[in-house]
Amino acid sequence: MASAIRAQKTSWADDVDDHDLVDQNKIEDYVDENGIRTTIEYAINEDGKKVKIVRKTRKVLQKSVVEHAVAERQKWAKFGKERGNKPGPDRATTTVGEEVMLKLSAGNKLSEPEPSPEENVKARLAKAGAGKVVCRVCKGEHFTAKCPYKDKLAGLESSVLDEDGGAASDAAPAAPGPAATSTTGKYVPPSMRAGASRAGESMRGGMSREDLPTLRVTNISEDTQESDLRELFGMFGKVARVYVGRDRETGAGKGFAFVSFEDRANAERALEKVNGKGYDNLILSVQWSQPRPGQ
């Protein structure tokens, strides 16, 4: 540091400052009556600021009683690669490591879960303020590439099945579940309200095609067939009709389709789940179908 400063100076008059600098680096060193040695140093830190470093050390002579043979061995001359070296540990071969903890406690350590590399990455992302990792397919807390359902959108299947199971068990008895939902203040479609049952659904059987709850699915791939969409949306409930928009000449898909459900609730669930999901490398967009202005 000092040499760097000196290099910048051009005038002989500045030499005086140099002496000051040397003075600053002078070390004060004294031993007080308690045997505590104090060393005061002045140095310039990385920011160019002068700092005072005070070190207090006390030497304590530790005595230990050892066996005669051990004491004899302490006096042995060094040999081999250490031949002629002065007594005391050599920094080249002996260093003191970082503090390690040994906590002895009962209980099986095997049961401790170990974070996987993926979890480590997630933790780091969270720490960096990137938020939580959310899967685009199933909204789970893992990477989309790691999603177990990424091939088949099976994530939908399981969540749908879960909900179905719940609904079925709720509907059978006095249905405390739906009653609870009505108190939340959120809009509940009539078919989902308390007292509504599956029997009511069949009453809509006579409705015309236009009255069926229909979803407009866009951004599907060209070669998507009716059967594919039936399979995909069939998870949510009975699909009444599927129409895939096609080019009249070539028969290739135009990238949109209409899916009509028999039950509005199922359609709503499908809309919620499938909208924004990947399918055939494309991200589906699902909206309610708007009736044409002319009709």
Partner 1 sequence: MRPILLQGHERSLTQIKFNAEGDLLFSCSKDYVINVWYTHNGERLGTYEGHNGSVWTVDVDSDSKYLISGSADNTMKLWSVSTGKCLYTWELPTAVKRVAFNEDGDQVACITEQRMGFQSAIRVFKLDKEDGTKQSEEPLHMFNPIGSKATVCAFTLTPNIIITGHESGKVALFNVKTGEEVDSNERAHGDVVTDMQLSKDWSYCITSSKDKSARIHDTKKLMVVKTFTTETPLNSAALAPNRPYVLLGGGQEAMSVTTTSLRQGKFETRFWHKVFEEEVGRVKGHFGPINTIAVHPAGTCYASGGEDGFVRVHHFDDSYFKARPYGEMEIID
Note the residues at the interface with partner 1 (CB under 8 A): 66-67, 69-70, 73-74, 76, 78-83, 87-90, 92-110, 114-115, 117, 120
Q: Closer to partner 1 by CB, 79 or 187: give it.
A: 79
DSSP bridge partners of 287: 216
Helix (H) or strand (E) holding 161: helix 154-171
Q: Closer to partner 1 by CB, 74 or 197: give it.
A: 74
Q: Rounded to the nearest whole angstrom, what is the least distance from the CB of residue 56 to partner 1 in the complex?
A: 20
Q: Closer to partner 1 by CB, 27 or 66: give it.
A: 66
- Distance CA(252)–CA(265), nearest Å, equals 31
DSSP bridge partners of 214: 260
DSSP bridge partners of 42: 52
Q: Rounded to the nearest whole angstrom, what is the least distance from the CB of residue 38 to partner 1 in the complex?
A: 25
Q: Rounded to the nearest whole angstrom, what is the least distance from the CB of residue 141 to partner 1 in the complex?
A: 20
Helix (H) or strand (E) holding 30: strand 28-31
Residues 182, 194: contact at Cβ < 8 Å?
Answer: yes
Q: Rounded to the nearest whole angstrom, what is the least distance from the CB of residue 131 to partner 1 in the complex?
A: 24
Q: Closer to partner 1 by CB, 82 or 162: give it.
A: 82
Q: Closer to partner 1 by CB, 8 or 93: give it.
A: 93
- Distance CA(186)–CA(180), nearest Å, equals 11
Radius of gyration of the chain (CA): 39
Q: Rounded to the nearest whole angstrom, what is the least distance from the CB of residue 98 to partner 1 in the complex?
A: 7
Residue that is written with structure tokens 């030497």 in the block = 59
